[in-house]
Structures are given as C-alpha cells and as structure tokens.
C-alpha cells in the first residue's frame, strides 16, 4: 500500500461498519473527521469494517459509500474491505501466539456472566474473569478454523495513558475493566480490536477521529500496538455522540433519522450538513456544502456537552 500519498505523511480513515444505515449522529462524526482531514491535508483511507459477521447487512457497504459521497465527502484511497484478505490478521495472531500472549477460551457468555462478582456498568462489556487463562508466555499456535474457540489476549494490569485531542487526558486499566479480551471470535474471524490495529498500522493511519463510544476500546488498541511492536501509535480524537430527546444515544427508537430517509424525501445534502454544522458550534443552522463546512470547522467550537436531536430539527430539515 502506498503511504506516501498526499502533501504529508499524515493519514486518517473513514471506517463505516456495514451493519446498518448512516443516521444524523454517525454522519456528524464522519463529516467532522473528513473536514479535519481536508483542512490539515491528511490522506483519507476508506475502510469498510465488515468482520462483524451476523450484524453485517447486505448492501449496507454500498449504501454507506453512496450516502457519504452524496453528503459531499470523498477519500483518497480505498474502499478496502477487511474481509477481502484475512492473512494480515492471521499473521498478527500467529505472532501473538508465538509470543505466548494469547490463549484459547471456550467460555459461553452465560458462564462469564455468572462469574461476575458485581454487575458491570456496561452490560455489553463483561469483565472476563480469566477462566481459561494459561500462564503468560505459554507459546501456542493460532488456528483460524477452530470452531467454538475464541482467542483472548493477556491484558496487562497497568494503566494506559493517552492524551485525546478532544476528550482530554485518559487513563484506563484494561485488566480491571474488561480483563483479557477477545482478539479472534468463535467464528474464526479476527475481532474488531485486533483488526482495527492491524489495519491502522498497515494503512499508515496517524489520526483517528471517531465516536466516544470507542473511548474505552482505545486502551485495548494501544496495548495491541505495543504487543505487536507496531507504531508509531496514532493520535486520537473522540467525539460525543448525538442523543435523542430522551437523552439516549440516537438510534432507531427515535424514529427515522437515517440520511437515506431524508434524501428520499428530497432534503438536499446542504440542509443536513447545515444542521450538523449547528451541532458543531458553527452558528445558527443554514444550508451549506461539505466544503463550506470544512472551511468553517473548528474543533475548539465543538460543544463538549451532549448534542440533542429534536422534533424541531426534523421539521427544519423537511420544510
């Protein structure tokens, strides 16, 4: 892959998961990522994160690309599909196995749940108690086709610190929060945490801009960068997610907020960008192109508090 493209060696990526349609909330994150890249001259890689087996929806990849282009976003490289070539992930897993950093896990979710000593803050993110752990340094061989076996990495019981360009100083202890985490799933596919690190390193990504739902994943990813001897580690910028009127993360329960829905009702992309611009602190909503948005965008103006989508926003878009 050519990593010398562009005016400098900096690079970011737009990494949609083809698991559903883009809505106003994730469109805001992509628009900001794109604008920061265009202002700073970072190369933009388009990567479709299509490893999440059961959640992948047919044609959602094409729809995501089409929607982003319709909003006025473009990219310099790709699209690359993670599933198109698993060899680089397998090489990373081989490396971790040879170093005695990963082990096989046969636990079911309910076994992990019943081993919890206290209810966890995030129900999706149970702390793994280490049931199947072998001593660190026990070398093994990674097998991709071992059904019903997941692979976990030894998570260091240490604080990982990083300076997030929007969220500020971060410190996370992966062992205390999630424990040894999955790097390859029972379906024989590399897990998101591993795949994203392998790709960010291979594609020369230096700047990661994404939703702050991934803030707690970042320490895991930095840990994998270090265990795999990859680098330099990227800079991170985690942005707050857009909320619905009930204060919960914008989702289907808030009605149809998909970009495709508004497009189907002849709402022009400039109106959508204009609303997103107001949500970025760029003044009262008014139609604008993605290029105008990039000209005006300023991370310092981005609200740190929650941004809420209201019926009034919906009415403005549709009138």
Where does this chain bind Zn ion (CB under 5 A)?
105, 107, 131-132
* DSSP-assigned states of every residue in 92-134: HHHHHHHTT-EEEE---HHHHHHT-SS--SSTT-PPB--TT--
Task: Please identify, using beta-carbon distances, which residue of 207 and 254 lies nearer to ligand GLU.
Answer: 207
- Does the protein bind ligand GLU through residue 15 (CB under 6 A)? yes
- The rounded distance, in Å, linking the Cα atoms of 188 and 151 is 9
* Number of residues that make up the chain: 319
Taking the least distance from each CB to Zn ion, the nearer of 107 and 167 is 107
Instruction: Based on the shown chain and the rule CB under 6 A, indicate whether residue 49 belongs to the binding site for ligand GLU.
Output: yes
Q: Which entry of Zn ion, ligand GLU, none binds 16, CB below 5 to 8 A by partner kind?
A: ligand GLU
Tell me if 61 contacts ligand GLU by CB under 6 A: no
Give the shortest CB-304-to-ligand GLU separation in angstroms.
Answer: 20
Smallest gap from Cβ 16 to ligand GLU, in A, equals 5
- Least separation in angstroms between residue 301's CB and ligand GLU is 23
Residue of 51, 67, 10, 14 lying closest to 211 (CA atoms): 14
For the chain, the farthest-separated pair of C-alpha atoms sits apart, in whole angstroms, at 64
Pull the structure tokens for residue 144: 């991709």
Q: Measure the CA–CA gap between 30 and 202, rounded to whole angstroms.
A: 21
Figure out which of the listed residues 17, 175, 203, 257 binds ligand GLU, where binding follows CB under 6 A.
Answer: 17
Residue from 207, 210, 258, 271 in contact with ligand GLU (CB under 6 A): 210
Rg (CA), the chain: 20
- Out of ligand GLU, Zn ion, none, what residue 131 binds, judged by CB under 5 to 8 A for its kind, is Zn ion
- Angle value at C-alpha 38, between 33 and 42, nearest 5 degrees: 85
**210 contacts which partner out of Zn ion, ligand GLU, none, CB within 5 to 8 A by kind?**
ligand GLU
Residues from 214 through 243 that contact ligand GLU (CB under 6 A): 214
Residue 132 beta carbon to Zn ion: minimum distance, rounded to whole angstroms: 3
Partners of residue 77 on adjacent β-strands: 45
Nearer to Zn ion among residue 104 and residue 249 (C-beta): 104
Residue of 195, 201, 186, 232 lying closest to 217 (CA atoms)? 195
> Residue 32 and residue 38: Cα distance in Å, rounded?
10
Report what 3 binds from Zn ion, ligand GLU, none; CB cut-off 5-8 Å by kind: none
- Residues in touch with ligand GLU (CB under 6 A): 15-17, 49, 196, 210, 214
């Amino acid at each position: 892959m050519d990593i010398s493209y562009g005016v400098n060696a900096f690079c970011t990526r737009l990494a949609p998961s083809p698991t559903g349609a883009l809505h106003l909330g994730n469109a805001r994150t992509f628009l900001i990522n794109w604008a920061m890249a265009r202002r700073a001259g970072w190369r933009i890689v388009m990567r479709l994160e299509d490893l999440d087996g059961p959640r992948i929806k047919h044609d959602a990849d094409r729809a995501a690309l089409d929607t982003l282009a319709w909003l006025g976003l473009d990219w310099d490289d790709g699209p690359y599909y993670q599933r198109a070539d698993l060899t680089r992930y397998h090489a990373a897993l081989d490396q971790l196995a040879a170093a005695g950093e990963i082990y096989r896990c046969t636990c079911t979710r309910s076994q992990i749940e019943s081993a919890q000593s206290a209810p966890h803050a995030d129900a999706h993110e149970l702390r793994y108690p280490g049931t199947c752990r072998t001593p660190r340094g026990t070398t093994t061989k990674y097998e991709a086709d071992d059904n019903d076996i997941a692979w976990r990495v030894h998570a260091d019981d240490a604080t990982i610190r990083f300076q997030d360009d929007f969220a500020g100083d971060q410190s996370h202890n992966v062992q205390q929060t999630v424990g040894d985490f999955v790097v390859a799933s029972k379906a024989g596919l590399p897990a998101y945490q591993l795949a994203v690190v392998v790709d960010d390193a291979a594609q020369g990504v230096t700047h990661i801009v994404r939703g702050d739902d991934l803030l707690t994943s970042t320490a895991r990813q930095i840990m994998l960068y270090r265990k795999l001897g990859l680098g330099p580690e990227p800079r991170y910028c985690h942005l707050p997610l857009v909320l619905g009127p009930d204060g919960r993360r914008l989702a289907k329960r808030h009605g149809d907020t998909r970009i495709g829905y508004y497009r189907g009702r002849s709402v022009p992309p400039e109106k959508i960008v204009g609303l997103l611009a107001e949500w970025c602190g760029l003044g009262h909503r008014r139609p604008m192109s993605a290029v105008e948005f990039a000209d005006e965008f300023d991370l310092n103006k981005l609200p740190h508090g929650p941004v809420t989508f209201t019926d009034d926003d919906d009415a403005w878009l549709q009138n």
